[in-house]
Amino acid sequence: MPQFDHAFDWVRRRVADGVLPTAVLGVGTADGVVALDAFGAASVDDHYPLFSITKPIVGLAALRLVEQGRLTPDTPLERALPGFGAGRDDLVRLRHLASHTSGIVEPPLDAPDLRASLLAPGRDFAAGTVSRYSTIAFEGIAALIEDASGSPWERAVADVGDRADAPGFTFDADASRHEPVDAAAQGLDYARFATLRHPGAGLLGRAADLLALGGALLRDDGAVVAPVTAAAMRRPLTAGLQKLEPYPASRGQDWGFTWNLRHSSPGLLTSDTFGHGGWAGTEFWITPSLGVCFVLLTNIGGGFGRLGADGDELHNAVAAAA
Percent of the chain with pLDDT over 90: 98
Which amino acid type is present at position 125? F
pLDDT of residue 175: 98
Say if residue 2's pLDDT is above 80: no
Please write the tens of the pLDDT for every residue from 284-299.
999 999 999 999 999 9
Q: What is the mean pLDDT of the chain?
A: 97
Backbone angles phi, psi at 243, to 5 degrees: -120, 120
As to burial, measured by CB atoms within 10 angstroms (0-12 exposed, 13-18 middle, 19+ buried), residue 307 is middle
pLDDT of residue 105: 97
Say if residue 238's pLDDT is above 70: yes
CATH number of the domain at 264, please. 3.40.710.10
Instruction: State the pairing for strand pair 242-243/130-131.
Output: parallel
* Number of structural domains the chain divides into: 1
Please write the tens of the pLDDT for every residue from 111-136.
999 999 999 999 999 999 999 999 99
pLDDT of residue 180: 98
pLDDT of residue 1: 56
pLDDT level of residue 278 (50, 70, 90 thresholds): very high
pLDDT level of residue 314 (50, 70, 90 thresholds): very high
Question: What does pTM read for this prediction?
Answer: 0.98
Give the neighbor-by-neighbor strand order of the sheet with 254-255: 32-39, 23-29, 292-298, 283-287, 274-277, 260-261, 254-255
Residue ranges making up the domain that contains 160: 2-321
pLDDT of residue 87: 86
Please write the tens of the pLDDT for every residue from 186-200.
999 999 999 999 999
